[in-house]
């Protein structure tokens, strides 16, 4: 729902794209934040198929300390 609303907003305002700034440390530490970001990005891409989608993860999200893989999993 959130991705669809954001994509609709991008389309209705003729933006080039969107930057996803996900900062949920608790979800990342629990190992379920990664799948949320992946699912969100997939749904967003359906709504804005030709737009730029970038991410601005916190630097620690790329470290191997997250049980779900952190943004390294998202990047895959």
Give the pLDDT of the chain (76 residues) as one tens digit per residue: 999 999 999 999 999 999 999 999 999 999 999 999 999 999 999 999 999 999 999 888 988 889 999 999 998 8
Give the count of beta carbons closer than 10 Å to the beta carbon of residue 45.
14
Whole-prediction pTM value? 0.91
* Contact criterion met (CB below 8 Å) for 50 and 15: no
E strand intervals along the chain? 17-20, 52-55
Q: 24 phi and psi, to 5 degrees? A: -125, 85
Q: How far apart are CA 42 and CA 55, in angstroms?
A: 13
Its domain, for residue 27, covers: 2-10+17-75
Q: How far apart are CA 53 and CA 64, in angstroms?
A: 24
Q: How many folded domains does the chain comprise? A: 1
């Amino acid at each position: 729902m959130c991705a669809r609303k954001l994509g609709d907003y991008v389309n209705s305002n003729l933006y080039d794209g969107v930057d996803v700034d996900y900062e949920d440390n608790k979800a990342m530490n629990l190992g379920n934040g990664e799948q949320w970001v992946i699912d969100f990005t997939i749904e967003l891409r359906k709504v804005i198929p030709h737009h730029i989608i970038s991410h601005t993860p916190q630097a620690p999200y790329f470290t191997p300390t997250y049980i779900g893989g952190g943004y390294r999993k998202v990047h895959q």
